[in-house]
Chain A
Amino acid sequence: MKKHTLFMRYWNPYVVLVIAGILSAFYFGLTSTVWAVTGEFTRLGGDLLNLLGVDITGWAYYDKVHLQGTTWSRPDGWMVWGMFIGALIMVLLSNNFKIRKPQQKRRYVQGLIGGIIAGFGARLALGCNLAAFFTGVPQFSLHSWIFIVATGIGTFFGTKLTKTRWWKGRPTLTKGAAKPSTVKKRVIQPYVGSVIAVLYIGLIVYFFATGQKLLGLGALFGLAFGILIERGQICFTSAFRDLFLVGRSLMAKAIILGMAVSSVLTIIIISVYDLTPITQIAAPSTFIGGILFGLGIVMASGCETGMMYRLMEGQVLFLPVFAGNIIGATLLACAWDHLGIYSTLVQSGAPINLLDSLHPVGAILATLAMLGLLYALTIYREKRYHQKRTMKKGATDYAG
Chain B
Amino acid sequence: MQAELEPNFTLDLRGESCPYPVIYTLEALEGMNKGELLLVITDCPGSFRNVPEEAKAHGYTFAQEPVKNGQEYLFYIYA
Whether A102 lies near B46 (C-beta < 8 A) is no
Interface of B is mostly: mixed
Q: Which residue of A lies closest to B28 (CB)?
A: A173
Partner pick for B70 among A173, A181, A245, A318, CB 8 A cutoff: A181
Known: A233-B45, A233-B49. A246 touches B14 (CB 8 A): no
Known: A175-B9, A233-B46. A102 touches B18 (CB 8 A): no
Which interface residue of B6, B15, B41, B54 has the most chain A CB atoms within 10 A?
Answer: B15
A-B pairs under 8 A by CB, number:
123
Contact partners of A250 in chain B: CB under 8 A = 53
Known: A177-B7, A178-B10, A180-B41. A248 touches B17 (CB 8 A): no
Whether B16 lies near A245 (C-beta < 8 A) is no
Contact partners of A123 in chain B: CB under 8 A = none
Which residues of A236-275 are within 8 A (CB) of B? 238, 241-242, 245-248, 250
Partner pick for B18 among A96, A98, A178, A235, CB 8 A cutoff: A235
Give, as a whole number of angstroms, the nearest-CB distance from A170 to chain B: 9
Residue A160 interfacial (CB < 8 Å): no
Partner pick for B71 among A96, A162, A248, CB 8 A cutoff: A96
- Tell me the complex Cα distance, A171–B7, Å: 17
Whether A248 lies near B54 (C-beta < 8 A) is yes
Contact partners of A389 in chain B: CB under 8 A = 58
Chain A's interface size range is 35 or more
Chain B contacts to A: CB under 8 angstroms: 6-20, 22-24, 26, 28, 39, 41, 43-46, 48-50, 53-54, 57-58, 69-72, 74
Contact partners of A103 in chain B: CB under 8 A = 12-16
Contacts A95-B71, A107-B16, A233-B49 given; 7 further ones with Cβ under 8 A? A10-B48, A168-B20, A238-B18, A238-B50, A246-B19, A246-B26, A317-B17
Whether B10 lies near A173 (C-beta < 8 A) is yes
Interface string of A82-99 (1 = CB under 8 A from B): 000000000000011110
Give, as a whole number of angstroms, the nearest-CB distance from A301 to chain B: 5
Contact partners of A100 in chain B: CB under 8 A = 14-15, 17, 43-44
- Tell me the complex Cα distance, A376–B19, Å: 24
- Tell me the complex Cα distance, A168–B22, Å: 12
Contact partners of B12 in chain A: CB under 8 A = 103, 171-172, 174, 178
Q: Which residue of A lies closest to B43 (CB)?
A: A100
Known: A233-B49, A315-B17. A176 touches B9 (CB 8 A): yes
Some 9 contacts from A to B, beta carbons below 8 A apart, are A98-B43, A103-B16, A172-B12, A177-B10, A180-B41, A246-B19, A246-B26, A310-B17, A386-B57
Whether B39 lies near A178 (C-beta < 8 A) is yes
Known: A248-B50, A315-B44. A168 touches B9 (CB 8 A): no
Which residues of A290-349 are within 8 A (CB) of B? 301-302, 310, 313, 315, 317-318
Give, as a whole number of angstroms, the nearest-CB distance from B12 to chain A: 5
Whether B41 lies near A178 (C-beta < 8 A) is yes
Give, as a whole number of angstroms, the nearest-CB distance from B68 to chain A: 9
Whether B70 lies near A184 (C-beta < 8 A) is yes
